[in-house]
Amino acid sequence: MPIAITERQQQQFDEDGFIIIEDALSSDHVSRLIEVVDKLDVSCRKAQEITPETAYQIRNALTYHDELFRLIDYSKMLPLVVDVMGVNIQLRTSHVDVRPPMNDYVEQELGASGSFFPWHSDGPDFGYPITNGAVPFFEVKIGYYLTDLTRHNSGAICVVRGSHKVSPKRIHDPAYQINPNDIVEVNVKPGTAMLWRTALWHCLTPNLSDQSRKCLYYGYNYRWMRPGDYDRQNPALLARCTPIQRQLLAANSAEDGVRYMDDDPAHPASRYWRPAPEDIPLRDWADEQLHVKEESGEAAS
């Protein structure tokens, strides 16, 4: 039984590869996050030596500010992530994306190879394996959109509905035409979140609005995979995490990260592969959420 996802949302997630959640963040929450991003903007541009017109990303963003850290297990979205992926998960990536207005933009075909932001699906160097013509379900991202993206060409992400079922090798194959009816420009208001399969083909519209587009992404994969933008998080950060946060930051509950099956030193097993209950506190948390749901009679309705 799911904790929070509706049947309709699950169906859309399976078929289209994404769902949109309006008002995932309150306007106060959005303001706080914009304040954080704006502060980081100054230091980031200085550190990266980039001009105010340049778009940039900050990876492992959760380490830059508590507001960004707190989104790793944000109570409105974590239940949806667990519903679609299960409990043996971790954070693969967290990033801030800022894209200022593109004043000198020269028109390009949306997502064309060699354009400012070509169609792609996410994956490590050398790509994810392709199985039966598609990338297996390895990860999701939550996009949190902080600025107004309701207008065409305001820097919004575009996704190709259902493209998680097609090999990314075909993206720039001239023999393969993306059906324009399948392209969804995610024109959303501030505070909207999108939960999406990162195997979806995606690109960006140019930002021809008069304000910088600011958004955040939190990517989750399975604990038996590796994180993407960190190996181990800083011990001082892990020391102040809740058990669930530690799980999400790919930490184990034992220093050596190994269990000894049947207490036999000849049978070590990685806690990513064979987690002990304390390695995945999300499991008890999910049970508790379901219990509350049952008690409230919601499950029956």
Residues that bind ligand AKG (CB under 6 A): 97, 122, 141, 157, 202, 204, 215, 217
Query: 3 or 184, CB closer to ligand AKG?
Result: 184
Query: 67 or 185, CB closer to ligand AKG?
Result: 185
Instruction: Quote the least distance from Cβ 37 to ligand AKG, whole Å.
Output: 13
Query: 89 or 286, CB closer to ligand AKG?
Result: 89
Instruction: Quote the least distance from Cβ 232 to ligand AKG, whole Å.
Output: 23
Instruction: Quote the least distance from Cβ 118 to ligand AKG, whole Å.
Output: 10
Q: CA 140, 145, 208: angle at the middle one, nearest 5?
A: 120
Rounded distance between C-alpha atoms, residue 166 and residue 169, angstroms: 8
Interaxial angle between packed helices 282-295 and 78-85, expressed in degrees from 0 to 180 and rounded to the nearest 10: 100
List 243's β-bridge partners, or say none: none
Half-sphere exposure of 150 (CA within 13 A, CB side): 6
Q: Report which residue's Cβ sits closest to ligand AKG.
A: 97
Query: 64 or 217, CB closer to ligand AKG?
Result: 217
Instruction: Quote the least distance from Cβ 242 to ligand AKG, whole Å.
Output: 26
Instruction: Quote the least distance from Cβ 189 to ligand AKG, whole Å.
Output: 16
User: Exposed (0-12), middle (13-18) or buried (19+): which is 126, by Cβ within 10 Å?
Assistant: exposed
Query: 138 or 272, CB closer to ligand AKG?
Result: 138
Query: 202 or 259, CB closer to ligand AKG?
Result: 202
Instruction: Quote the least distance from Cβ 186 to ligand AKG, whole Å.
Output: 9
Chain position carrying tokens 């399975």: 222
Query: 13 or 218, CB closer to ligand AKG?
Result: 218
DSSP 244: H
Measured from the Cβ of residue 257, the count of other Cβ atoms closer than 10 Å reads: 15
Instruction: Quote the least distance from Cβ 41 to ligand AKG, whole Å.
Output: 15
Query: 205 or 289, CB closer to ligand AKG?
Result: 205
Are 169 and 130 in contact, with CB atoms under 8 Å apart?
A: yes
Rounded distance between C-alpha atoms, residue 187 and residue 233, angstroms: 34
Contacts of 144 (CB under 8 A, 6+ apart): 24, 25, 33, 71, 192, 193, 215, 216, 217, 218
* Residue among 271, 272, 273, 249 at smallest CA distance from 258: 271
Instruction: Quote the least distance from Cβ 8 to ligand AKG, whole Å.
Output: 25
Region label for 129, one of left (φ > 0), alpha (ψ between -120 and 50) or beta (otherwise): beta
Are 160 and 119 in contact, with CB atoms under 8 Å apart?
A: yes
